[in-house]
Structure 1
Amino acid sequence: MNDWFKKNKIVVVLFLLALIPRLVFSLIAFFSLGDQGFIAGADVYLPAGLNFLTEGVFTNSLTEPLIPNSFPAPGYPILLGISWLIIPKYLFVVLWQNIIYS
């Protein structure tokens, strides 16, 4: 493991340089705005991901009958749904997003 870090030192440093500012910004936003800082504009994606994982239907509908619909980026609702099933907090979802985007 130590040998791997020596070989990939530059990649690890660049990754951390990209990740740390994102995490700092996310934590500041979370503690100053709460969950609402992360929900605005993405509130349809979480229900879609949860419906897909729990009901097997890809829709953002919250009431029965669940009518399937499509999204421009279907992977994002699935990522949100999986993250929400692990730890149901928006901060955890934002942590995953920051790691992936870094």
Structure 2
Amino acid sequence: TVSPFAGGGDLITLIYLLALFRFFFTLSGLDTGSPFAGVGASRELTLGILVEPMLILSLLVLALIAGSTHIEMISNTLATGWNSPLTTVLALLACGFACFIEMGK
């Protein structure tokens, strides 16, 4: 099977890029000087503190199952077969729940 993420890079890099985006998004909200933007930035940081550990742990569980933090290896492992289906399903559910919260729905 060919991985859809052949040039995807490393999972740790992806996690840091997501955290960097949240930092600059909050910084831009605080830069405007509006009290409403400050409240929104505070809400964004609170969500980040609560959701990011769940997202990181679920992605690291998938990396431990695959035996690598490379996104191509993780997607190949999940595409070819699940070694521990219960753990994989729980990690994917936690990741989906974290993404649902991140979307603000």
Confirm or deny a common fold (TM above 0.5).
Answer: no
Structure richer in helix, relative to its length: 2
